[in-house]
Amino acid sequence: MNDKPKLTTTAGSPWPNNQDSLSAGERGPLLIQDYQLIEKLAHQNRERIPERTVHAKGWGAHGKLVITEDISQYTLAKCLQKGAETPMIARFSTVAGEAGAADHERDVRGFSLKFYTEDGNWDMVGNNTPVFFVRDPYKFPDFIHTQKRHPKTNMRSPTAMWDFWSLSPEAMHQVTILMSDRGLPQSPMHMNGYGSHTFSFWNEKGERYWVKFHFKTQQGHDFFTNEEAEKVVGKTREGYQERLFNAIEDGKYPRWKFQIQIMPETDAEKTDYNPFDLTKVWPHDEYPPIDVGYFELNRNAENYFAEIENAAFSPSNIVPGISWSPDKMLQARIFSYADAHRHRLGTHYEQIPVNRPKCPVHHYHKDGEMNVYGGIATGNPNAYYEPNSFNGPVEVREAQEPPLRISGDAARYDHRKYDDYKQPRALYADVMDDAERDRLHQNMGGALVGVPTVIVERWFEHLRQVHPDYEAGVRKEWEAASRDAGYDPNGLPITGDTPHEANDQSPQQPTIEAAE
Ligand code: NDP
- DSSP letters spanning 161-172: HHHHHHT-GGGH
> In Å, what is the CA distance from 296 to each residue of 162, 173, 231, 307, 421?
37, 29, 30, 17, 36
Task: Characterize 77-92 residue by residue with b for buried, 16 or more Cβ atoms within 10 angstroms of its Cβ, and e for exposed.
Answer: bebbeeebebebbbbb
Does ligand 1 have an atom closer than 6 angstroms to the CB of 217?
Answer: no
Q: What local confidence, expressed as pLDDT, does residue 1 receive? A: 55
Atom 27 of ligand 1 has which residue's CA nearest to it? 283
CATH 1.20.1370.60 domain extents, the chain: 134-167+421-495+505-516
- 55 catalytic? Reply is yes
Does ligand 1 have an atom closer than 6 angstroms to the CB of 93?
Answer: no
- The shares of helix, strand and coil residues in the chain, as percent rounded to the nearest 5, are 35, 15, 50
Ligand 1: centre distance to CA 239 (Å)? 27
Atom 30 of ligand 1 has which residue's CA nearest to it? 427
Burial of 507 (0-12, 13-18, 19+ CB in 10 A): exposed
Does ligand 1 have an atom closer than 6 angstroms to the CB of 182?
Answer: yes
Q: Which of 195, 32, 228 is nearest to 124 (CA)?
A: 195
CATH 2.40.180.10 domain extents, the chain: 58-132+185-355
DSSP code, position 455: H
Does ligand 1 have an atom closer than 6 angstroms to the CB of 97?
Answer: no
Ligand 1: centre distance to CA 422 (Å)? 13
CB atoms within 10 A of CB 152: 9
Ligand 1: centre distance to CA 76 (Å)? 29
Q: What's the topology of domain 134-167+421-495+505-516?
A: Hemocyanin, N-terminal domain (1.20.1370)
Atom 29 of ligand 1 has which residue's CA nearest to it? 427
Atom 40 of ligand 1 has which residue's CA nearest to it? 281
CB atoms within 10 A of CB 385: 11
Task: Characterize 170-207 residue by residue with b for buried, 16 or more Cβ atoms within 10 angstroms of its Cβ, and e for exposed.
Answer: bbbbbbbbbbbbbbbbbbbbbbbbbbbbbbbbbbeeee
Burial of 336 (0-12, 13-18, 19+ CB in 10 A): middle
337 is in an annotated binding site: yes
- Side-chain half-sphere CA neighbours of 259 within 13 A: 18
CB atoms within 10 A of CB 365: 12
Does ligand 1 have an atom closer than 6 angstroms to the CB of 466?
Answer: no
Count how many residues are written for the chain: 516
**Cα 261 from Cα 399, distance rounded (Å):** 24
Does ligand 1 have an atom closer than 6 angstroms to the CB of 437?
Answer: no
Atom 45 of ligand 1 has which residue's CA nearest to it? 216
DSSP H or E stretch at residue 298: strand 290-299
> In Å, what is the CA distance from 70 to each residue of 81, 135, 202, 437?
6, 33, 14, 39
Q: At what angle do helices 468-484 and 453-466 cross, to 10 degrees?
A: 150
Atom of ligand 1 nearest to the CA of 182: 19
Q: Which of 121, 127, 310, 443 is catalytic?
A: 127
Architecture in CATH of 58-132+185-355: Beta Barrel (2.40)
The β-bridge relationship of strands 255-264 and 290-299 is antiparallel
Q: Do you find a cis peptide bond into 387, omega within 30 degrees of 0?
A: yes
Reading the chain (516 residues) residue by residue, the pLDDT tens digits are 579 999 999 999 999 999 999 999 999 999 999 999 999 999 999 999 999 999 999 999 999 999 999 999 999 999 999 999 999 999 999 999 999 999 999 999 999 999 999 999 999 999 999 999 999 999 999 999 999 999 999 999 999 999 999 999 999 999 999 999 999 999 999 999 999 999 999 999 999 999 999 999 999 999 999 999 999 999 999 999 999 999 999 999 999 999 999 999 999 999 999 999 999 999 999 999 999 999 999 999 999 999 999 999 999 999 999 999 999 999 999 999 999 999 999 999 999 999 999 999 999 998 999 888 877 777 788 999 999 999 999 999 999 999 998 888 999 999 888 899 999 999 999 999 999 999 999 999 999 999 999 999 999 999 999 999 999 999 999 999 999 998 876 655 534 344 444 334 333 333 344 333
CA-based radius of gyration for the chain: 26
- 154 catalytic? Reply is no
Does ligand 1 have an atom closer than 6 angstroms to the CB of 252?
Answer: no
Q: What local confidence, expressed as pLDDT, does residue 172 receive? A: 98
Could you give the maximum distance between any two Cα atoms of the chain, in Å?
85
**Cα 396 from Cα 384, distance rounded (Å):** 18
Give the residue, out of 262, 281, 421, 443, with the most ligand 1 atoms within 8 A of its beta carbon, to mutate for a pocket test. Answer: 281
Ligand 1: centre distance to CA 230 (Å)? 27
**Cα 33 from Cα 111, distance rounded (Å):** 48
CB atoms within 10 A of CB 168: 22
Does ligand 1 have an atom closer than 6 angstroms to the CB of 289?
Answer: no
Output the CA torsion sign for 89, 225, 498, 516.
positive
Ligand 1: centre distance to CA 428 (Å)? 10
Ligand 1: centre distance to CA 423 (Å)? 9
**Cβ neighbours of residue 42 closer than 8 Å, sequence gap 6 or more:** none
**Cα 504 from Cα 509, distance rounded (Å):** 8
Cα angle for residues 313, 328, 323 (degrees, 5° grid):
55
DSSP H or E stretch at residue 146: helix 140-147
Atom of ligand 1 nearest to the CA of 212: 40
Does ligand 1 have an atom closer than 6 angstroms to the CB of 192?
Answer: yes
Ligand 1: centre distance to CA 128 (Å)? 12
Q: What local confidence, expressed as pLDDT, does residue 514 receive? A: 34
Atom 18 of ligand 1 has which residue's CA nearest to it? 432
Atom 8 of ligand 1 has which residue's CA nearest to it? 431
DSSP code, position 508: G
**Cα 73 from Cα 76, distance rounded (Å):** 8
Atom 24 of ligand 1 has which residue's CA nearest to it? 283
Ligand 1: centre distance to CA 108 (Å)? 16
Does ligand 1 have an atom closer than 6 angstroms to the CB of 419?
Answer: no
DSSP 326-372: S-HHHHHHHHHHHHHHHHHH-TTGGGSGGGS-SS--------STT--
Give the residue, out of 431, 432, 433, with the most ligand 1 atoms within 8 A of its beta carbon, to mutate for a pocket test. Answer: 431
Give the residue, out of 427, 433, 440, with the most ligand 1 atoms within 8 A of its beta carbon, to mutate for a pocket test. Answer: 427
